[in-house]
Amino acid sequence: MSAAPGKAQRGHELHQLGVAALAQRLAAREVSSVEVTQHFLARIEAQQNLGAFLALDAEVSLAQAHAADARLAAGERAPLLGVPLAHKDVFVTRDFPTTAGSKMLANYRSPFDATVVSNLAAAGTVTLGKLNCDEFAMGSANENSAYSPVRNPWDISRVPGGSSGGSAAAVAAGLVPAATGTDTGGSIRQPASLCGITGIKPTYGRCSRYGMVAFASSLDQAGPMAASALDCALLLSSMAGPDPDRDSTSLDLPVVDYATNLIAACARSDWASGLKGLRIGLPKQFFGAGCAADVLAAVRAALAEFERLGAELVEVDLPLTELSIPVYYVIAPAEASSNLSRFDGVRYGHRAASYSNLNDMYRNSRSEGFGDEVTRRIMIGTYVLSHGYYDAYYLKAQKIRRLIAEDFQKAFTQCDIIAGPVSPTVAWKLGEKSGDPVASYLADIYTLSSSLAGLPGMSLPAGFGAHRMPVGLQLIGNYFQEAQLLGAAHRFQLATDWHLRTPEAAA
């Protein structure tokens, strides 16, 4: 493989170890969870210029680390026991404030943990803090946070992607070994691509949405972000699972031990055959003029590596891809308008200090609490749901959404996995698109359609493009095929070292 910018992780510093390697050292008692936690807390303190964290509490984190060390000393062994991570600030937590990146929820403390948070805590992870994000997860650049923009550790003058930009930047910079994220229209995959890490959005319903501050309820899905597919597999195994009593949309499917499956596959005699027999579909709509030449070059080189490993590349058709943007920006704002209506200053959210009557209180509280992008989407959503426009916009968008899902099912009769770029460009400059919301919306053209269909998808590092910035390869699977996606990504990462490349900030 040709040389690339950055440096490979060959050192033995704790922050250069992935989740799997760190877990092995913890299990072998070569290092304590307290030592690891202190190491990462020091790194976070030293790199506050990235704006990745919104909340820290060293006392809470170290108490969790001491508890993990006690479990390890007692002989307990679990894949994530003692491993530190951080949560996107849309997951409610008892021990840390939850703001969803908004002034509307400034200083809010939840009386309970989100299911994803409690599942990972039960697995023995240590929470380092809460990660910055676009306000209420609305954005593609992480410039919509009410507190500060997040900066890309490969070039701090550029965006990390959004809305899970704090999560992606923190992992890429070596501030955390892994993080949780949420993906509504690409908010795990796009920042993972722009920051050069691995992230997976599972099938809609695979992870419980209970305790996740809602943006668009029929689209929001939690997922892990880490350096490698193996690390993501370890996290997803603990994050996922049915939650019927608290989330009616959670899938009634048993938890899959994705990481053990990957490790077992490595030990089988047929592993040497690589990806022989795997059909990878390439939608012609993903490889057109709308994608930058440098991104296409990196993606095609990665696909050539898959072909070398035995996969077969076939062309498929997703004819309604270009309609995914207008469909998404009708459905998602409509659901956001409904979900955010509770934040009116009466029972929930910020209440204005000055007002003369009830309507004035509503208006002032919401004007002060919500930022421009959230306000814009609430207005769009309210409009498309209003009398006389529901049938013309919202209902029609839902019908096209069904057709988009059917297009994917037709494509999967010809292939096993669909591949292409994650983003049409590498990370852009901070402020470059902030005055043009539509330009930001177009950055999600390759991720929206699979989100509308509820399919699993992931981004894995595939090279570098213009300005020496990372490029991600997107893999999309059929429903419930996370194991297949992770397996293909893991094989690719065993044969390449793009996922080992790190910015100078992670040195």
Looking at 90-99, 221-230, 265-274, 492-501, which range is the least confident one?
A: 265-274
Q: Tell me which DSSP letter residue 428 carries.
A: P
Does residue 388 belong to any structural domain of this protein?
A: no
Does residue 448 belong to any structural domain of this protein?
A: yes
> Is it the case that residue 199 has pLDDT exceeding 90?
yes
How high is the pLDDT of residue 270?
60
C-alpha 226/C-alpha 237 separation (Å) is 14
Domain count, the chain: 1
462 touches 420 (CB < 8 A): no
Does residue 62 belong to any structural domain of this protein?
A: yes
Active site residue 88: yes
> Is it the case that residue 361 has pLDDT exceeding 50?
yes
Does residue 395 belong to any structural domain of this protein?
A: no
Catalytic residue among 33, 110, 164, 187: 187
> Is it the case that residue 206 has pLDDT exceeding 80?
yes
Which single residue is written with the structure tokens 């490698």?
228
Top pLDDT among 95 and 274 is at 95
> Is it the case that residue 45 has pLDDT exceeding 60?
yes
- Strand ranges, E, within 208-343: 221-226, 279-283, 312-316
Catalytic residue among 32, 33, 61, 88: 88
Does residue 331 belong to any structural domain of this protein?
A: no
Is the N-terminal amide bond of 163 cis, ω within 30° of 0?
Answer: yes
User: Residue 9: pLDDT band by 50, 70, 90 thresholds?
Assistant: very low
Does residue 233 belong to any structural domain of this protein?
A: yes
C-alpha 98/C-alpha 94 separation (Å) is 9
**Helix, strand, or coil here: 352?**
coil
C-alpha 20/C-alpha 258 separation (Å) is 13
> Which CATH number does the domain housing residue 463 bear?
3.90.1300.10
User: What are the structure tokens assigned to 381, written together?
Assistant: 């959503």
Active site residue 7: no
Domain that holds residue 284: 12-319+405-500
User: What are the structure tokens assigned to 164, written together?
Assistant: 């899970």
C-alpha 192/C-alpha 169 separation (Å) is 8
Catalytic residue among 61, 102, 145, 163: 163
Does residue 134 belong to any structural domain of this protein?
A: yes
pLDDT digits (tens, 9 = 90+) for 292-320: 999 999 999 999 999 999 999 999 999 99
C-alpha 85/C-alpha 178 separation (Å) is 5
Write the single-letter amino acid at 311. A
What is the sign, positive or negative, of the torsion defined by CA atoms of 442, 447, 334, 133? negative
**Helix, strand, or coil here: 468?**
helix
φ, ψ at 108 (rounded to 5°): -65, 135
Does residue 1 belong to any structural domain of this protein?
A: no
Total Cβ atoms within 10 A of residue 58 = 15
> Is it the case that residue 11 has pLDDT exceeding 80?
no
pTM: 0.95
User: Residue 322: pLDDT band by 50, 70, 90 thresholds?
Assistant: very high
